[in-house]
Structure formats: structure tokens, C-alpha cells
Amino acid sequence: MWPKSRRARPVLLACAVVALSLVGGTGIGAAASAVAPATSGRIAWSPCPKVSGYLCGTLRVPLDYRHPSAGAVPLAVMERPVPQSKGVMVFNPGGPGESGLLILPILASLVPAGVKDQFTLVSFDERGTGSSEPLLCGPSAAAASSAVAGTATAARAFAGLGRSCRATLPALFPTVNTTTSARDMDQLRAALGEKRIDFYGMSYGTALGSVYAQLFPSHVGAMVLDGAVDANLSLISDAKADAPAIERALAHGLQSCTALPGCPLGADPVGFYKKVQAQLSRSPLPAPGGGDTAPVTVGDLYTASLLYLSAPTFTPGYFPAVAAAAAGNGAPLRSVALGLEDDINGESLVGPLWTITCSDVVGHPDAATTAQLARRLAAQYPLAGAEAVANYLIGCPGWSESNEPIAHLSPHGAPTPLVIGNVYDPNTPYVVAPQLAAATGGRLVTFVGYGHTWLLNGSTNSCMANVVTSYIVDRVVPAKGTRCSASG
């Protein structure tokens, strides 16, 4: 269910399927510094139809903040109220593009008790996502899953992505970006009647939080940025940082199979993986059928592997799927891989994910540069180098639709954010966490563990839970150099 965009792909959403069964300013754009108009009224809350204890509603926000009279966009919102609430904490699960409404109940089950018992938890579907007029455009989720960065097939799959998405919702499309979503979030704050809101952003959500802090520093309370994304970095820099992180995590993850009774990958899981990787590179397997016409390729292996590494506890079918592919059945591998490409309700995340990712950045490498980078990283990191390129920029070569890209992000005036970096995170590499902390004036806390984000992979860790609870509830910024070990 999340990634930095596929600048941290949507890892959380795939995990939520399992979790649900368990729990029942400068440089952001010409108008960046403009004060958004107040919302016209409160949200009319009513009980959510399928989730007990939660309220759902709709908030109408300006379509274009530079032209407030140009119309409005309905945003789907959800809250988990508590008696005698100390404040409001807004969650963004990442993606970008993942539905906050679908994931909020899962996040609430993971948040430390001291936080969820005292704060009203809120989330919303960003414009162009979830139930807020989603951009259903671009290649199919299966085609995106099977695409291998730097290949002609991938270039064809994503060619015309911007045109496709613009044609789907021509008025909304130019406004689907993180800067506009940050303005929408401030409309939500006003509609909730709050002078300040607390915020918890995961993966891409850390970029949204950073932009919000730059635009509206006086409206920020506590801000937790978990799974750091530094929006100042280029897509190429992102991929270069991610390649060694995925490689290291994959070697460790595959080797962990030997601790399982009857490991499907045998006594040498890394060697088994390499054989499957070579087989799928030479000869893709037939499409699973049932409307899925895309052959199962090594791209599916990479995509499924990233999902597993991001949330291993929630991906029990990964090892059997790799073994099935070795035996000639690619359907299980495709099923796992689609966990990164589809929302919980089965809708594709490809359109909103890449629209936001590509619109947010200043530079878009062309197809030749992308292919060269994929070859170079694949040679240097043979297990996962190509996936790092797919993770961060496979949809962006040739993109020419950017509106309000993020540049020179360096918020000032907001309270010190808490930046959480997971040492072995395969999706938002740890090396970025100190950079985000420096850019935002934040305090870095290190979680020494595997998986994508602390909350998804270490929520039961008492050391981290105490740090986060103390920061949110008591506003205590932890000491410099604070570290918590997953094994501690």
C-alpha cells in the first residue's frame, strides 16, 4: 500500500487486503504561496456504510485555486472520532494514488494506542484518486506490472500516458499534483474547524506533508514523515539510491525462505530466483487469462518482489508464486504483482500514480536515458537494478504535462517534523531519510529493520511506539541520533 509514488509504489494497499481480514515557499509554483480560500461549510458526516465506528462525508474544494470560481471538486473524506479528542491527525498512506479511506481502518489498527485513543484520525482521497474522481487511464495494471524498465515494450505501454489521462478528465487532470493536494488538505483542516492539524505521511505521503509544511507552516502541529521521500531529488537520483536498497533487501528476503518449513525455493533461494529471472527474461509465460492478456514477464517478478520486500508479513504467497513461475504457471506471480498496481477495490492505480509522480518533478529523462540507466543499474545490481528504474520513472519518459512541479522544497516556520527512516527499506531507501530531515528541519529517528516504513513493519516495536507517541501526544522531539532496533 504505498511507495514514494512508485516514487514509492503502492505497497500498503496490497497489504490492506490481508489486514482487513485481521481487523474485521519557493519553487513549488507561481501560486504556491497564495492563501487558499476558506471552504464554504462543514462536512456533513454520516456513518460509513461498511466500516463500524467511522464517519464518511464529502468536501468540495476549488477545481483551480488560481481561479476559485471555475468550479469545485468533491473529495471523499473519512474520520474515526474519539471522545474528548485532543486534536485531528490526518493520514496519507502514500502511492501516490492510494485511497486514504480504504486504508484508514488498517492504519488505525497499527497506530500506537496512546495516539489513536486520544486523536480523531482522518484521511481523504486526493483529487484524481480513490472515490475523488479517479483518473482511470494509461496502460492496464497487468501491462504496468509486466513492463521492464528501459525496454521497447515498456516505452510502448506508457506512451501517451499524459494524453490518455488528460482525455479522461480534461478539467481535473492539470490540477492532479501534490501541491494542489496540499491546498486541498488545508481546505480539509478549515472544514474540520481546526487551527492546526497533525499529520502522518507514509512513503509518498512524506512528500505531501513536506509541501503542506512549506505552504502552510502555521497550520502544522505534529508531523510524522515515515518512509522518507525527498521531493528535491531527481527521478534518476531516486533510482540510483533505490537500486542497492532493493538488492540488499532482496538477497536477505530470499535467504529468509530457508527458515520456513519446506521452503518452495529450495536450499539456495537466491540461485532459484536467478534461474526464474533468466527464464522469464528469455521466455515470458502465457497471460493468466480472464481478461488479463499481458504475458507474465520478468517485470512481474520484479514487481512482486518489491511488494514482498516492502511488507513481507502481508505477502505470504510470494515464495509459492516464484516457485509456480519456475514450473511454468505465471498466474500466481501476476496476482502478487498486481498488489502494487491495483487498489483494494480492484481499480487500477496506474493513472493517478504516474500522473502525480511525473507532474511533481521538474525533469523527465527521455526513453534513451531511461534505458541506459536501467542497463547500468541492472549490471551493477543484477537482482534488482532494473526494478529501481521501474519503481521511480518508468512512466515518465516523454512526459510533458507537468503543472506546478516541486522544486527547492525547504519549509520553514513549522514545528520540527519527525522523520522516520527504516535502515533496510527497499522502497524509500534509508539514505534519503537524513536528506529529508535536513530539507525540512526535521529530527531523524532510525528504525533498524526490514520492510517499507516503520508503521507497516514495526508497529509493535515498543521503542518506536514510545518515540512516536511521545512526539505526537506530548510534543517531545526525540534526542538526536535516536535509534530503535527491530530485534530489540
pLDDT of residue 37: 43
Half-sphere exposure of 454 (CA within 13 A, CB side): 36
Question: Positive or negative CA dihedral for 274, 277, 283, 289?
Answer: positive
Q: What is the predicted pLDDT for the residue at 487? A: 81
**What integer pLDDT is reported at residue 456 of this predicted model?**
95
The per-residue pLDDT for 363 is: 86
Do 269 and 255 meet the contact criterion of CB atoms below 8 Å apart? yes
DSSP characters for 237-288? Answer: HHHHHHHHHHHHHHHHHHHGGGGSTT-TT-S-HHHHHHHHHHHHHHSPBPP-
Residue 400 φ/ψ region, left for φ over 0, alpha for ψ in the -120 to 50 degree band, beta for the rest: alpha
Q: Is there a contact between 225 and 204 (Cβ–Cβ < 8 Å)?
A: no
| CATH 3.40.50.1820 domain span(s) along the chain | 11-38+78-131+176-231+408-485
Which tens digits make up the pLDDT trace of 67-106? 999 999 999 999 999 999 999 999 999 999 999 999 999 9
SS3 for 330?
A: coil
Give pTM, 2 decimals: 0.93
Tell me, what amino acid is at 320? P
| Contact status, residue 389 vs residue 150, Cβ threshold 8 Å | yes
Of 202, 138, 132, 126, the residue nearest 165 (C-alpha): 138
CA distance 226 to 206: 7
Check residue 8 and give its pLDDT: 55
Looking at 397-461, list the stretches that DSSP marks H as alpha helix, in order from N- to C-terminal side: 432-440, 454-458
Q: Please state, rounded to an integer, the average pLDDT across all residues of the chain.
A: 91
Q: How far is CA 132 from CA 99, 111, 220, 302, in A?
A: 9, 25, 24, 30
CB-facing half-sphere around the CA of 386: CA atoms within 13 A: 22
The vertex-358 CA angle with 5 and 179, nearest 5°, equals 75
Helical H segments across 160-220, by residue range: 161-168, 178-191, 204-215
CA max distance for the chain: 65
- pLDDT at res. 12: 53
CB 397 within 8 A of CB 361: no
- Give the cell for residue 103: 486504508
Is there a contact between 446 and 485 (Cβ–Cβ < 8 Å)?
no
**Rounded Cα distance, 26 and 455, in Å:** 31
CB 1 within 8 A of CB 425: no
Helix and strand element counts for the chain (H, E) = 19, 10
- Whether 225 and 210 have beta carbons less than 8 Å apart is answered as yes
E strand intervals along 70-155: 72-80, 88-92, 120-124
pLDDT of residue 455: 97
Q: Is 426 exposed, middle or buried (0-12, 13-18, 19+ CB in 10 A)?
A: buried
CB–CB of 239/432 below 8 Å?
Answer: no
CB-based contact 332:321 (threshold 8 Å): yes
| Separation CA 233–CA 362 (nearest Å) | 10
Domain 11-38+78-131+176-231+408-485 has CATH 3.40.50.1820: yes
| Residue 124, CA distances (Å) to 30, 157, 332 in order | 26, 30, 32
pLDDT at site 453: 97
pLDDT at 3: 40
Residue 87: CB partners within 8 Å, gap ≥ 6? Answer: 119, 120, 194, 196, 197, 198, 221
How confident is the prediction along the chain (488 residues), in pLDDT tens digits per residue?
Answer: 344 344 555 555 445 443 433 333 323 332 333 334 444 568 999 999 989 999 999 999 999 999 999 999 999 999 999 999 999 999 999 999 999 999 999 999 999 999 999 999 999 999 999 999 999 999 999 999 999 999 999 999 999 999 999 999 999 999 999 999 999 999 999 999 999 999 999 999 999 999 999 999 999 999 999 999 999 999 999 999 999 999 999 999 999 999 999 999 999 999 999 999 999 999 999 999 999 999 999 999 999 999 999 999 989 999 999 999 999 999 999 999 999 999 888 899 999 999 999 999 988 999 999 999 999 999 999 999 999 999 999 999 989 888 899 988 999 999 999 999 999 999 999 999 999 999 999 999 999 999 999 999 999 999 999 999 999 999 999 999 999 999 86
